[in-house]
Amino acid sequence: MDPAWVGLSRVLLVRLDNLGDVLVTTPAIRAVRHSLPQAHLTLLCSPVGAQVGRLNPDIDEVIEYQAPWMDPWSQLECDPARELHLVEELRSAGFDAAIIFTSFRQSCVAAAYLCYLAGIPLRLGASVEGPGSLLTTRVKHDGDYTGEFPHEVMRSIELVASVGMQTDDLHLRLRVPEIAHHRSATILSAHAAGGPRIVVHPGCSMPARTYPTEGFGAIVDRLICDFNATVFLTGTESEAPLVRTIQDSLKSTRRSRTVSLTGTIDFATMCGLIEACDLTICSNTGPAHVSAAVGTPVVTLFALTNPPHQWSPWMVPFRQLFQDVSCRICYRRVCPYHQECLTLVPIDEIVTAAGELLNESGTERGAPEAVLGAAYERRAVCRA
């Protein structure tokens, strides 16, 4: 390991975006823990990401911070006191080093400046800009220049490997508390009707990535008809109207096979529920990565706003379904067209993918792919 990083006692890990982003960073965090077993590791993350951070056994402390440069749609008021307060909080904590994790197209410069102002002596990040003295170790990923982007898990692993931190355990890290296991078991026992138990999470914070509501209604109907499934519909309280619309689209006999949990369970209980169920179906959003972390097979309805191989569920059986379109990899929040990359995926194909994963009961959950590139070709379904 780089001599400057040996024996550090307090390390700040920075990941300021969403729930799934924090999850795909957990193998790299594990590498930091393996390399610095005695260090106190603090995660600086968004309030949403903090839900994952608090379930990561490698993290000792979580600091929540809504960074104004991360989400241009959050409409945070200009409040310099907020950032100055954080700088002072980080300064008083006496961190030896900061590792700033970002995805492709995200800049680490603003977070690096916070750490610089806080007097953190070692600052590691990936940057295609000229960060000057804001970073003491700057990583330039080859894919950022060639367009051959690695999976986001490997991007984070490459970052910490640049200073010699490694791990043999590349699984996502998420430990569901016993109380959450108990709560999810209680929910399942109250709705034990035979057949597979499937979590359907229809919501997504990004409109361009959200599969249409009527499509989810058709999917739920087929899951019940074809597999005699019990479907657990999850989401935030604000997504309750979306779930009600899905349920109202069903005949009463099929509606009785659905359970709405929107706004009624906490994040840890949702993780326990996903772990105990047989399959998850969702858009490209956090529960896809939760499913990967707890080893539950997942069907992702993947909008081509981002390269699909970068964000495929990691080390878990999955199907990633999309329709190839000329405007792919647009990075848009709102689709200016008609979401053809999602809406043109046939319902039959989604149900077939679900059936394949339900029938792969002998597949070891969480088994690593020997060659990730081959896995992407095998498991991603793209129609030209």
User: Which pLDDT score, from 0 to 100, does residue 77 have?
Assistant: 84
Q: Which of 107-111, 153-157, 243-247, 359-363 has the lowest mean pLDDT?
A: 359-363
* Domain match, 157 and 291 both: no
pLDDT higher than 50, residue 379:
no
Q: Is 168 among the domain residues?
A: no
Q: Is 58 among the domain residues?
A: yes
Quote the CA–CA distance of 308 and 162 in Å, as a whole number.
25
User: Which pLDDT score, from 0 to 100, does residue 146 have?
Assistant: 63
Average pLDDT for residues 272-295, to the nearest whole number? 96
Q: Which of 161, 192, 226 delimits the end of a domain?
A: 161
Mapped onto helix, strand or coil, the DSSP state of residue 87 is helix
Q: Are 141 and 127 in contact (CB under 8 A)?
A: no
User: Which pLDDT score, from 0 to 100, does residue 322 have?
Assistant: 94
Average pLDDT for residues 63-90, to the nearest whole number? 88
Mapped onto helix, strand or coil, the DSSP state of residue 172 is coil
**What residues contact 5, with CB distance under 8 A and at least 6 apart?**
35, 36, 97, 122, 163, 164, 165
Q: Which of 161, 190, 207 delimits the end of a domain?
A: 161
User: Which pLDDT score, from 0 to 100, does residue 144 have?
Assistant: 65
Q: Is 166 among the domain residues?
A: no
Average pLDDT for residues 350-362, to the nearest whole number? 89
Phi, psi of 73 (to 5 degrees): -100, 0
- The gap from C-alpha 279 to its chain's centroid, in whole angstroms, comes to 17
User: Which one is predicted more confidently, 165 or 374?
Assistant: 165
Indicate the pairing of strand 318-323 with strand 137-139.
Answer: unpaired
pLDDT higher than 90, residue 206:
no
Tens digits of residue pLDDT in 82-109: 999 999 999 999 999 999 999 988 999 9
Q: Which two tokens stand for residue 382?
A: 């793209």
* Domain match, 193 and 263 both: yes
For residue 143, name the pLDDT band (cuts at 50, 70, 90).
low
For residue 193, name the pLDDT band (cuts at 50, 70, 90).
confident
Global pTM reads 0.90
* Domain match, 197 and 69 both: no
Mean pLDDT of the chain: 90
Q: Which of 110-119, 123-132, 287-296 has the lowest mean pLDDT?
A: 123-132
pLDDT higher than 50, residue 365:
no
Average pLDDT for residues 301-325, to the nearest whole number? 93
User: Which pLDDT score, from 0 to 100, does residue 378 have?
Assistant: 28
Q: Is 134 among the domain residues?
A: yes
The residue assigned the tokens 């039959």 is 348
pLDDT higher than 60, residue 219:
yes
* Domain match, 148 and 290 both: no
Tens digits of residue pLDDT in 231-275: 999 999 999 999 999 999 999 989 999 999 999 999 999 999 999
Residue 101: C-alpha distances to residues 24, 69, 159, 278 (Å): 10, 14, 8, 32
Quote the CA–CA distance of 120 and 95 in Å, as a whole number.
6
* Domain match, 184 and 137 both: no
User: Which pLDDT score, from 0 to 100, does residue 382 have?
Assistant: 33
User: Which pLDDT score, from 0 to 100, does residue 372 have?
Assistant: 34
Phi, psi of 233 (to 5 degrees): -95, 120
* Domain match, 89 and 10 both: yes
Q: Which of 69-78, 96-105, 305-314, 372-381 has the lowest mean pLDDT?
A: 372-381
- Looking at the DSSP bridge assignments, the partners of residue 63 are 44
Q: Is 167 among the domain residues?
A: no
Task: Extract the runs of DSSP E, i.e. beta strands, from 16-119.
Answer: 40-45, 61-64, 97-100
pLDDT higher than 80, residue 350:
yes
Average pLDDT for residues 31-39, to the nearest whole number? 97
CATH of the domain at 336: 3.40.50.2000
Quote the CA–CA distance of 210 and 339 in Å, as a whole number.
9
pLDDT higher than 60, residue 168:
yes
Cβ neighbours, 10 Å, residue 72? 9
Q: Is 360 among the domain residues?
A: yes
* Domain match, 124 and 196 both: no
Q: What is the dihedral of CA 281, 287, 293, 295, to 10 degrees?
A: -20
* Domain match, 215 and 99 both: no
Average pLDDT for residues 125-131, to the nearest whole number? 89
pLDDT higher than 70, residue 370:
no
* Domain match, 349 and 267 both: yes
* Domain housing 19: 3-161
Quote the CA–CA distance of 240 and 233 in Å, as a whole number.
9
pLDDT higher than 60, residue 327:
yes
- Looking at the DSSP bridge assignments, the partners of residue 231 are 198, 258
* Domain match, 205 and 149 both: no
Average pLDDT for residues 345-374, to the nearest whole number? 69
Q: Is 70 among the domain residues?
A: yes
User: Which one is predicted more confidently, 299 or 253?
Assistant: 299
Q: What is the total count of domains within the chain?
A: 2
Sign of CA dihedral 90, 93, 98, 101: negative
Average pLDDT for residues 312-317, to the nearest whole number? 96
Quote the CA–CA distance of 145 and 374 in Å, as a whole number.
23
The residue assigned the tokens 């996903």 is 274
pLDDT higher than 90, residue 226:
yes
* Domain match, 184 and 43 both: no
Q: Which of 135, 161, 187 delimits the end of a domain?
A: 161
* Domain match, 301 and 182 both: yes
Quote the CA–CA distance of 54 and 176 in Å, as a whole number.
10
Q: Is 279 among the domain residues?
A: yes
User: Which pLDDT score, from 0 to 100, does residue 73 have?
Assistant: 64
Mapped onto helix, strand or coil, the DSSP state of residue 97 is strand
Mapped onto helix, strand or coil, the DSSP state of residue 372 is helix
Percent of the chain with pLDDT over 70: 92
pLDDT higher than 90, residue 27:
yes
3-state secondary structure 195-251: CCEEEEECCCCCHHHCCCHHHHHHHHHHHHHHHCCEEEECCCHHHHHHHHHHHHCCC
